[in-house]
Amino acid sequence: MTAYILCLILFSLGIYCAVSKRNLIKIIVGVAIAEYAVNLMFVLVGYRIGGVPPIFAAPGEAQGAMVDPLPHALVLTSIVIGLATTALLAAIAMRIYRKYGTYDVNEIRELRG
């Protein structure tokens, strides 16, 4: 339970960073932190204390608790998706820097109202 709560705190920190920071790069970092918090939580959901990997070397060998392998597969997908969004956001931030000459959102204000 403590681990879950820590994950949620990390998630909140990431969201807070993305919402409150004024620098485009820091906003991207905030989004990435929130992303990692969610991924971490997903892995923890599959974890069992004292669990073994669900691999059968010989029939009837597996004893006791096994960790849930499904979240691991899903987290890999989720990480790849996160990579795509982060790369796209970073690319857009670079293009913005080329147009405006700054990463400060206070000075990037074409759209109003």
Token pair listed for 71: 């979240």
Q: Which is nearer to another protein, 43 or 62 (CB)?
A: 43
Torsion of CA 21, 26, 29, 33, to 10 degrees: -30
Q: Letter for the amino acid at 92?
A: I
Cα separation of 106 and 40, whole Å?
33
Tell me the closest approach of the beta carbon of residue 22 to another protein, in angstroms.
13
Closest separation in Å from C-beta 4 to another protein: 9
Q: State the nearest-atom distance from the C-beta of 31 to another protein, in Å.
A: 5
**Cβ closer to another protein: 6 or 108?**
108
**Identity of the residue numbered 100:** Y
Contact residues for another protein (CB under 8 A)?
Answer: 11, 15, 18, 24, 27-28, 31, 34-35, 38, 41-42, 45, 68, 70-71, 74, 77-78, 81, 84-85, 88-89, 92-93, 95-96, 99-100, 108, 110-111, 113
| CA distance to 35, 50, 51, 78, 94, per residue, from 87 (Å) | 13, 37, 35, 14, 11
CB of 62 to another protein, least distance (A): 18
